[in-house]
Amino acid sequence: MKDIEFPIFSTKTSEGKTFDLTDANRRREYFEYKAGPEIKKLQDYLKNNTFIVYLLGKKSSGKGTYSKMFKEIISPERVEHLSVGDLIRSFDEVLKDPVKKQELVEFLQKKYRGPKPLPELITAMEERSTKVLLPSELILALVEKEITRLGKKAIFIDGFPRDVDQVSYSLFFKHLVDYRNDPDIFVLIDVPTNIIDERIKYRVICPQCNTSRNVKLLPTKNVQYDKEKNQFYLMCDNPACLPAEALAKEGAGPRMVTKEGDLQGIEPIRSRLEKDELLMSQIQAMHGISKILLRNSIPKEKTTEFADDYEITPEYHYTFNESSGKVEVLQKSWEVLDDQGVASNSLMPPPVVVSLIKQLVGVLEL
């Protein structure tokens, strides 16, 4: 982002240890090695205390990934990730059930106080109408219902506030849901637009299990080559797709496909990204708010100073060996231009979460 100075957080070590950050067990060892004392402080804090974190970043900036990884490492029992978008979509099924619908309506009749009639909003939710914008007051009531269900835990809220006029709601959010003594913290995430663009353009999904991968950044174990189209493609390797005996055969898994519209990259969501960026800039300028700044990339010329090699996101290239009839996979550090046009390397999620952990300890004064 041009308006905010996101400092580079160093996770560089001199011992020469390496970790496979795609392996859950090795990832846990990595976190203990890089942030063991801070993890212990947060775990002790969460035994008797909680907090609310508002995650702010451009669409596809990794908000869900970072918060879920934090939960995995710190405390699966005491931390929750709450996606407001997913929550609202989940009420599609609730509204189809007469009993659950009545329970929801009765709850909202007690909690909702807003500018539009509740029956009109319920109808809009049932019809998935985009013409009726759900007011902040309704979203707050729905989130309050979910937080009550979750119980008193540390919560990462993803997707609220979405507009500047919702910031004041979020600042008093903990009072509305009985978090009076808990700190609320805004986490601002900086991801270059080009990174989001390539994540979308090269994204593929399995038509059978909907597993998402990326041809350039996160391939499956089975990469194939289409000679007629001169195109490399991924075969899903999720065991849930086919019986083990079928998956054991080369190329037996479903061929992963590009979602409609993904080849356009960020173009369909450009205005949304600009809005997200404006919101972060305005929140950064506000006083009296605890803020944590996370950055996803490091200028290439500074990468070796601030990060270990295995912490840099790899990109994958493929060649087809005619003699063996197999695809050969080549790997190198992913390089993109950031929003200032500086050649940069993208970080894997774990080092970003290390930065989050250490900064959070500082904000909470542990």
Q: Which pLDDT tens digit goes with each residue over 10-32?
A: 999 988 899 999 888 999 999 99
- What is the pLDDT at residue 258? 92
DSSP codes, 291-359: EEEEESEEEGGGHHHHS-GGGBPEEEEEEEETTTTEEEEEEEE-EEE-TTS-EEEEBPHHHHHHHHHHH
Quote the CA–CA distance of 128 and 92 in Å, as a whole number: 8
Number of structural domains in the chain: 3
Distance CA 106, CA 307 (A): 53
Q: Starting at the edge strand that comes first in sequence, how are the strands of the sheet with 297-299 ordered? A: 297-299, 343-346, 335-337
Q: What share of the chain is helix, strand, coil (3-state, %, to 5)?
A: 45, 20, 35
Q: Are 87 and 96 in contact (CB under 8 A)?
A: no
Q: What is the mean pLDDT of residues 118-125?
A: 86
169 lies in the same domain as 180: yes
Give the tens place of pLDDT for each residue, 324-339. 889 999 999 999 999 9
Residue 320 lies in a domain: no
Do 306 and 365 fall into the same domain?
yes
CATH code of the domain in which 358 resides? 3.40.50
CA angle 38, 41, 45 (to 5 degrees): 140
Residue 108 domain flag: yes
Q: Could you tell me if 24 and 91 lie in one domain?
A: no
**Res 116: pLDDT:** 87
Residue 250 lies in a domain: yes
189: left (phi over 0), alpha (psi -120 to 50) or beta: beta
Supply angle C-alpha 166, 60, 78, rounded to 5: 70
267 part of a folded domain: no
Look at residue 298 and give its three-state secondary structure: strand
pLDDT over 70 at 181, yes or no = no
pLDDT interval class at 180 (50, 70, 90): very low
Question: Which pLDDT belongs to residue 288?
Answer: 78
Two tokens at 249?
Answer: 């055969």
Reported as a pLDDT band with limits 50, 70 and 90, residue 275 is confident
Looking at residue 2, what is its pLDDT?
67
> Per-residue pLDDT for 71 more than 60?
yes
326 bridge partner residues: 321
pLDDT at res. 132 = 62
Would you say residue 179 lies in a domain? yes
In whole angstroms, give the CA distance from residue 268 to residue 319. Answer: 32
Q: What is the pLDDT of residue 212?
A: 87
- Between 130 and 225, the higher pLDDT residue: 225
Q: Which of 150, 165, 182 is the last residue of a domain?
A: 150
Rounded Cα distance between 42 and 75, Å, is 9
Q: Does residue 133 carry a pLDDT above 80?
A: no
Q: pLDDT tens digits, residue range 281-296? A: 888 888 778 899 999 9
Asked if residue 173 has pLDDT above 70, the reply is no
Q: Are residues 279 and 135 in the same domain?
A: no
Over 80: is that where the pLDDT of 145 sits? yes
Helix (H) or strand (E) holding 53: strand 52-57
Q: Are residues 12 and 25 in the same domain?
A: yes
The pLDDT value recorded for residue 172 is: 56
Give 316's pLDDT tier (boundaries 50, 70, 90). very high
Please, which pLDDT band fits residue 250 given cuts at 50, 70 and 90? low
Assess if residue 321 is contained within a domain.
Answer: no
**Residues 6 or more apart from 18 whose CB is under 8 A from it?**
308, 309, 310
Angle at alpha carbon of residue 67, lines to 62 and 69, rounded to 5°: 95
Domain shared by 70 and 95, yes or no: no
Give the rounded percent of residues in the chain with a pLDDT score beyond 90.
47
- Look over the chain and give the mean of its residue pLDDT values, rounded to a whole number: 87
| pLDDT more than 70, % of the chain | 90
pLDDT in tens, 27-62: 999 999 999 999 999 999 999 999 989 899 988 888
Least confident interval from 91-100, 114-123, 151-160, 173-182:
173-182
Do 70 and 183 reside in the same domain of the chain? yes
Residue 319 inside a domain? The answer is no
Q: Do 283 and 352 reside in the same domain of the chain?
A: yes
Question: What pLDDT is attached to residue 174?
Answer: 53
59 and 188 within one domain: yes
**215 within a domain of the structure (yes/no):** yes
Q: Are residues 128 and 19 in the same domain?
A: no
Boundary of a domain, candidates 115, 132, 150: 150
Same-domain pairing of 179 and 252: no
Mean of the pLDDT values across residues 150-154? 87
Q: What is the pLDDT of residue 167?
A: 64
110/145 same-domain check: yes
SS3 341: coil
Q: What is the DSSP letter of 78?
A: T
Domain that holds residue 109: 80-150
Alpha helix positions (H), the chain: 24-45, 63-74, 84-96, 98-111, 118-126, 136-150, 167-171, 173-176, 193-201, 244-247, 270-284, 303-306, 349-363
Per-residue model confidence (pLDDT) at position 363: 95
Alpha-carbon 135 to chain mean position: 24
Q: What is the pLDDT of residue 94?
A: 86
pLDDT in tens, 103-113: 888 988 988 88
